[in-house]
Chain A
Amino acid sequence: MWSIVHKMGSPPWFFRFANGAIAWLLPIVLITLVVGCVWGLLIAPPDYRQGNSYRIIFIHVPAAVVALAGYYVMATAGLMSLVWKIKMADTAMRALAPVGAALTFVALVTGSIWGKPTWGAWWVWDARITSMLILLFLYLGVMALSEAFDNKVAAAKACAVLSLVGTVNIPIIYKSVDWWYSLHQPASIKFTGESAIDASMLYPLLLMIVAFYGLFALSVLLRMRTELLVTHRQSAWLRSELS
């Protein structure tokens, strides 16, 4: 296990690994995304209460799930960078924040579009939407902090500390927003009651969640590879790798 961590920390090894992984991931992500979208948009039956608007769930929920998981991945990378001073963990953190923010943004906007036919308003201060908005702020904070430092090593360390603080806070934020919502909940706005999701809708949803995880990994690896190309531009290993 440790040998993998050591290898992961070496830029030449990681560059080769990323190249291979990207070549594998790209077709997998494309196929799962297309199959999942066709399944969710055309094949799955409509929801008996919300009609066809519920089809947004197949992108909204995966984006939200992966965006939240992404913050934990970023914090893990931060911990690795702080404790073991692994350079690649710094690179990973810088690559993870914008991808996570983009997915959070997708979850927010699709949720808002979904809200219009369901609740009759573009924006409702629902507990989950509010938590996602705060998650977006947390991501933007990490990105802004990383931009603000001139010294790259210090920037990575500061972002690692911030993302760890955020990780401790996220469960508290989610729980508190939940309580806040139940305290203020207006009677007219109610999300569909908890009902077991039918298999005809569950399978495409699961497929889309897999697709979004793949997409997340793919775009993070792409960003990390690009950054390696920038930072190791003068290195001999990169030159021999490319020739």
Chain B
Amino acid sequence: MYFETWSAVWHMEGHGPYVWGAYSLTALVIVLLVLSPWVRARELTQDIRNEQRRAAAASALGADHASET
């Protein structure tokens, strides 16, 4: 490691705010880029699975009715 202490890492001889600002902004964009389609895909899969379950339940119910009558 180049730096002696953690506060030196934070300070970076006066350039700390610039370097850390740039890195945190990039991190934010990366998280958004990965997370937003990820979350959306999860919601969609959940949605489709729920629909499937409901359809399966409905058809099972329909089959029961058919066997009763």
Q: Does A219 count as interface, using CB distance less than 8 angstroms?
A: yes
Q: Does B44 count as interface, using CB distance less than 8 angstroms?
A: yes
A51 to B19 Cα, complex, angstroms? 11
Inter-chain contacts of A243 with B (CB < 8 A): 49, 52
Which residue among B13, B15, B45, B52 has the maximum number of chain A CB atoms within 10 Å of its CB?
B15
Which of B1, B22, B38 has a CB less than 8 Å from the CB of A110? Answer: B22
Inter-chain contacts of A170 with B (CB < 8 A): none
A223 to B40 Cα, complex, angstroms? 9
Query: Whose C-beta in chain A lies nearest to the C-beta of B32?
Result: A102
For the residues of A in contact with B, the DSSP-based class is helix
| Listed A/B pairs (24) with beta-carbon separation below 8 Å | A37-B23, A42-B9, A46-B13, A51-B12, A51-B13, A52-B12, A52-B13, A52-B16, A52-B19, A53-B12, A55-B19, A59-B22, A59-B26, A102-B29, A102-B32, A106-B26, A110-B22, A113-B22, A117-B15, A218-B34, A219-B34, A222-B34, A222-B37, A229-B44
CB pair A242–B9 under 8 Å, yes or no, is no
Count residues of B near A (Cβ-Cβ below 8 Å): 30
Q: Does B58 count as interface, using CB distance less than 8 angstroms?
A: no
Count residues of A near B (Cβ-Cβ below 8 Å): 40
CB pair A42–B2 under 8 Å, yes or no, is yes
A41 to B38 Cα, complex, angstroms? 28
Known: A59-B22, A59-B23, A219-B34. 20 other contacts (CB 8 A): A33-B30, A42-B1, A42-B3, A43-B1, A51-B13, A51-B14, A52-B15, A52-B19, A60-B22, A63-B26, A109-B22, A113-B18, A113-B22, A117-B18, A219-B33, A222-B38, A225-B41, A226-B41, A229-B48, A242-B49
Which of B14, B32, B33, B48 has a CB less than 8 Å from the CB of A242? Answer: B48
How close is B3's CB to chain A, nearest CB, in angstroms? 6
A219 to B14 Cα, complex, angstroms? 34
Inter-chain contacts of B9 with A (CB < 8 A): 41-42
Q: Does B25 count as interface, using CB distance less than 8 angstroms?
A: yes
CB pair A53–B19 under 8 Å, yes or no, is yes
Inter-chain contacts of A85 with B (CB < 8 A): none
Inter-chain contacts of B16 with A (CB < 8 A): 52
Given contacts A43-B1, A45-B2, contact A242 B45 (CB under 8 A): yes
Inter-chain contacts of A219 with B (CB < 8 A): 33-34, 37
